[in-house]
């Protein structure tokens, strides 16, 4: 969901229909013929056929006055979002699979980053993983270290993610302004990244595309890991992957060579980010030649003035053996680099950042973008229809978080 960045490669990916189609009757979206499940998560409504109406609490009258207390001013949104519910204000970024727009929802006043992904691109990339990002977002819904997804929905040609709008910018922008960073800044950001990776890996999720462009920062300086389009799910125990996924320059060597790998590939990516935070530049060959990247990884030179503590943790994160790297990262909280970190506070998101974020310019919500500009289409003759079989792959895609309502 980031703009102007190296295109990722993977077996899974991201990205409406034209304005004239909005009024047409749509085909079945989320298996409406199937009855809703009886057990529902307290946080997620996983099927749009479920009733989204909530029974309001009965207000007890005041025993002294006999009057009912005033109703809260916040409006409750009882229906799942639709495309025509949103007002679009500006484009936030674009990638190989879709675009992200700043949008507002008049019914509840929320501002969201609405990610728009083309179904055809997802199907062309990997038919088996069209629901990966949606499921990963459900896994991360209860952690502050990740961008929250309010809702997902779909049309005939597109899928949509209504994401939490993070106004502090990307970690890349932060590093461009401030790197090389001091030890306290580097330690704080690294500790929150470690909390995020351990949360993911403990739930069987490998991010596989961790990079500064996919780490956002809120206005106070806390990080938010985003973009799970290349994630791998249900990777537990000794299970390993072999497919090539990620962004060149942040991939571990075993991923580039398509050798078996485990969750430690995310820690290699974290090592690249840590090096950039400390040194202020990228550590390896920066180009598209994979062989030269691998050679530069083997021949990495550390600055002479780098502290032994920083070098020690980087050497562990850049370990060539994914199994040895995993063993090192299993005990990473005990490394001297993280001395003094209160990990409980880091996990709860209550550590105070040791820096003050630069003020961000206010967004102009008076400007609007027409829907026919937001939705981009191929020429009709170049557009292949999505088969009913492929449409069924998107069954269960739509959900609505309790935070949306």
- Residues with a catalytic annotation lie at 209
Q: How far apart are CA 395 and CA 51, in angstroms?
A: 17
Q: How far apart are CA 270 and CA 332, in angstroms?
A: 12
Smallest Cα–Cα separation from 120: which of 370, 395, 397, 393? 393
Beta strands in 280-326 (DSSP E): none
- Structure tokens given for 231: 């994630």
Q: Are 217 and 170 in contact (CB under 8 A)?
A: yes
- Cα angle 180, 186, 191 (rounded to 5 degrees) comes to 160
Q: What are phi and psi of 68, to 5 degrees?
A: -85, 145
- Structure tokens given for 20: 């004239």
- Cα angle 201, 204, 205 (rounded to 5 degrees) comes to 70
Please report how many Cα atoms fall inside a 13 Å half-sphere around the Cα of residue 136, on the Cβ side: 32
- Tokens 């967004």 correspond to 363
| Residue 403 per-residue DSSP state | T
Q: How far apart are CA 44 and CA 80, in angstroms?
A: 11
Q: How far apart are CA 127 and CA 55, in angstroms?
A: 39
| Residue 97 per-residue DSSP state | S
Q: How far apart are CA 156 and CA 26, in angstroms?
A: 7
Contacts with 379 (C-beta within 8 Å, 6 or more apart), sequence order: none
- Biggest CA–CA distance in the chain, Å, is 80
CB atoms near residue 265 (< 10 Å): 26
Smallest Cα–Cα separation from 127: which of 269, 13, 243? 13
């Amino acid at each position: 969901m980031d703009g102007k960045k190296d295109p990722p490669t993977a077996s899974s990916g991201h990205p409406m229909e034209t304005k004239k189609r909005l009024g047409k009757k749509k085909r079945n979206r989320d298996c409406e013929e199937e009855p809703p499940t009886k057990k529902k998560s307290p946080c997620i409504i996983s099927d749009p056929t479920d009733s989204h109406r909530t029974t309001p609490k009965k207000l007890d009258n005041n025993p002294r006055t006999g009057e009912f207390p005033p109703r809260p001013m916040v409006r409750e949104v009882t229906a799942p979002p639709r495309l025509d519910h949103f007002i679009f204000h500006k484009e936030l970024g674009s990638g190989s699979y879709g675009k992200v727009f700043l949008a507002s929802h008049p019914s509840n006043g929320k501002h969201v980053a609405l990610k728009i992904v083309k179904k055809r691109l997802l199907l062309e990339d990997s038919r088996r993983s069209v629901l990966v990002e949606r499921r990963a977002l459900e896994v991360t819904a209860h952690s502050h270290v990740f961008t929250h997804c309010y809702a997902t929905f779909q049309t005939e040609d597109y899928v949509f993610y209504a994401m939490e709008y993070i106004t502090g910018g990307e970690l890349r922008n932060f590093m461009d302004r401030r790197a090389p960073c001091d030890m306290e800044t580097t330690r704080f950001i690294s500790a929150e990244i470690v909390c995020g990776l351990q949360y993911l890996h403990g739930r069987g999720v490998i991010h596989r595309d961790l990079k500064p462009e996919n780490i956002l920062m809120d206005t106070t300086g806390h990080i938010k890991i985003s973009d799970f389009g290349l994630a791998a799910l249900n990777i537990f125990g000794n299970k390993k992957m072999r497919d090539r996924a990620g962004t060149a320059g942040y991939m571990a060597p075993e991923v580039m060579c398509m050798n078996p790998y485990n969750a430690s590939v995310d820690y290699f990516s974290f090592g690249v980010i840590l090096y950039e935070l400390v040194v202020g530049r990228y550590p390896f060959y920066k180009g598209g030649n994979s062989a030269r990247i691998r050679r530069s990884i083997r021949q990495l030179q550390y600055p002479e003035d780098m502290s032994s503590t920083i070098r020690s943790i980087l050497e562990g994160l850049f370990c060539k053996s994914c199994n040895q790297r995993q063993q090192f990262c299993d005990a990473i909280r005990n490394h001297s680099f993280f001395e003094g970190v209160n990990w409980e506070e880091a996990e709860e998101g209550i550590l105070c950042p040791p820096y003050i974020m630069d003020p961000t310019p206010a967004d102009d919500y008076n400007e609007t973008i027409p829907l026919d500009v937001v939705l981009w289409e191929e020429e009709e003759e170049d557009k292949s229809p999505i088969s009913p079989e492929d449409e069924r792959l998107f069954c269960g895609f739509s959900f609505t978080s309790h935070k949306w309502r």
